[in-house]
Amino acid sequence: MTKRSSGVLLHISSLMGPYGIGCFGRDAVRFIDFLREGGFRAWQVLPFSVPDAWNSPYKSVSAFAGNPCFIDPEQLFEQKLITAEELESCKANSPYFVDFFALNRQRKALFSTAFSRISPELREKMDRWRAGQPWVEDFALYTALQEETGRDWREWDPPLRRREPAALDAARERLRDAVDQAVFLQYLFFTQWSALRAYANSQGIEIIGDMPIYVSLESADVWSNQALFDLDETGAPAEEAGVPPDFFSENGQRWGNPLYNWAEMKKDGYRWWIDRILHAHRLFDKIRIDHFRGFSAYWAVPAAAKTAKEGRWREGPGMDFFRALFAHIDPSALIAEDLGVRDEGLEQLLADTGLPGMRVLQFAFLGQDDGIHLPHNYLPNTVAYTGTHDNNTLLGYLWELTPEQRRYCLDYCGFSGTAWKDGGAQNPAIRAVLRTLWGSPANLIVVPVQDLLGYGGDTKMNRPGIAEGNWSYRLTEEAFSQLHADTYRRLSLLFSR
């Protein structure tokens, strides 16, 4: 990536296409072509994880596995794993949002059918890939056991919960087909993504992945590595991850994830974490580490607490972890999501690691102070956003501001008119704000696709602290046609991006 560059934030699930959810197919290729033509050099995605029951990719059954719903059905057809009629059945009635319930039910049946037709040659390729993925056996067995029992690992029979070798061997034998199918889907996921990423790189586009700092209690990771998490002998956490009250929630947020046993992790040089980041680096060119401040200090919420307000700060592993990590990966591959509550410890850890932090333009105009989120204060070693997946869209944000805040924002961005209300890519106020971001000192700027389109708050991806109704936004064919590459190429040429 050149020193100054720009990128677009769009999750795979939000890509346009006929199959109910974005996938690793021809429409992803078309989006990469748009990025190249628009002078962009980065595509940022959300975590590739298997989402939870509320469809969030930030709380998954595995920190390593990918979401099989991103598998391109057309490639399954080309491999003779599904018929033309079965391919047609994958198409969805609405292009506007992901119907996760219908999608998961349909794909489950489709993938079982595809696996039943696996050829000896394809199985041999799968087994070769499988041998190089040490995480996949535990993940596949975990998902097979979850399907069999309908419960998570803490409610399994004690021998399985404690991972006694005889119990694991018996389960693998009993559930061999289910385990193999889970491996098969991961093989398809990773091989399809590898080809798509190679195409993106060939077009000068780097992929920025997103890594949640925590994993789900109901996950293969915790079941397989119980000593690495802060749990009691029954597998229950006394404290859970979260954040104190902030811009997004007056009560703070309880995420429900188990906390790490950092003292135990240190004994083997943080091997699990290093393996996780190296795995992610094989998927992405750069990795945005969500909630970076948790490595400095993290908010621990008692499991019995009513709200996250009752939590406390506990010391993280700090630079000791990063010294171990940097022996295995170049720091230039990492981005620190350093939003939220800031203190001297976080600032010092950022300085010591040298990682770029984040700035969010939407945070800049909520007061009249000369804050760090105002573009003229951005440091070059920064990734700057109009907003993230947790923010409102830029147009929705303008509607939320008080008249005084909105005038401050628009004056700052050089827009003196009153025509800021209407949605659409030609909204002059939105274009003025985007131009301000392009001209900022930040080496990398990233804009959610909704902001390129000037869309309102009804298209935002996530509402923090609210479980239902998130993650379903999709880019339609009509919307994609409104993304004019020349507009962004001119901005990038003007501001040396």
**pLDDT value of position 341:** 80
What is the greatest pairwise CA distance in the chain? 73
Q: 337, 352, 369, 370: which one is catalytic?
A: 337
Q: Is 204 left (phi over 0), alpha (psi -120 to 50) or beta?
A: left
The rounded mean pLDDT for the chain is: 95
Out of 152, 290, 338, 451, pick the active-site residue: 290
Q: Which of 218, 239, 390, 451 is catalytic?
A: 390
Average pLDDT of 57-62? 93
Quick one: pLDDT at residue 234? 86
Give the model's pLDDT for residue 417.
85
Averaged over 77-92, what is the pLDDT?
Answer: 96
Confidence of residue 467 (pLDDT cuts 50, 70, 90): confident
Q: What is the pLDDT of residue 369?
A: 81
**Residue 247 pLDDT:** 73
**245 has pLDDT over 80:** yes
Would you kindly state where each structural domain of the chain is located, as residue ranges?
Answer: 66-196
Q: What is the mean pLDDT of residues 163-177?
A: 98
Phi, psi of 453 (to 5 degrees): -90, -10
pLDDT band at 485 (very low <50, low <70, confident <90, very high): very high
Distance CA 185, CA 122 (A): 12
What pLDDT score does 113 carry?
98
* pLDDT for res 2: 55
Residue 400 has pLDDT above 80, yes or no: yes
Q: What is the pTM of this model?
A: 0.96
Average pLDDT over residues 184-191: 98
Could you tell me if 44 and 210 are in contact, meaning their C-beta atoms sit under 8 angstroms apart? yes
Average pLDDT over residues 65-82: 98
Span of 145-149, 398-402, 466-470 with lowest mean pLDDT: 466-470
| Mean pLDDT of the 267-288 span | 98
- CA separation for the pair 132, 129 (Å, rounded): 6
- Sheet (strand 5-9) strand order: 334-336, 286-289, 206-211, 42-44, 5-9, 444-448, 382-385, 357-360
Active site residue 173: no
List C-alpha distances in Å: 4 to 39, 263, 331. 11, 39, 18
Number of H helices, E strands in the chain: 20, 12
343 is a catalytic site residue:
no
C-alpha 24: how far from its chain's center?
16
Q: What pLDDT, in 10s, does the model give residues 316-360?
A: 999 999 999 999 999 999 999 999 888 999 999 999 999 999 999
Q: Does the annotation count 232 as an active-site position?
A: no
Does residue 1 carry a pLDDT above 70?
A: no
DSSP 6-68: EEEE--GGGS--SSSS--SSHHHHHHHHHHHHTT--EEE----SPP-TT--TTS-S-SS---G
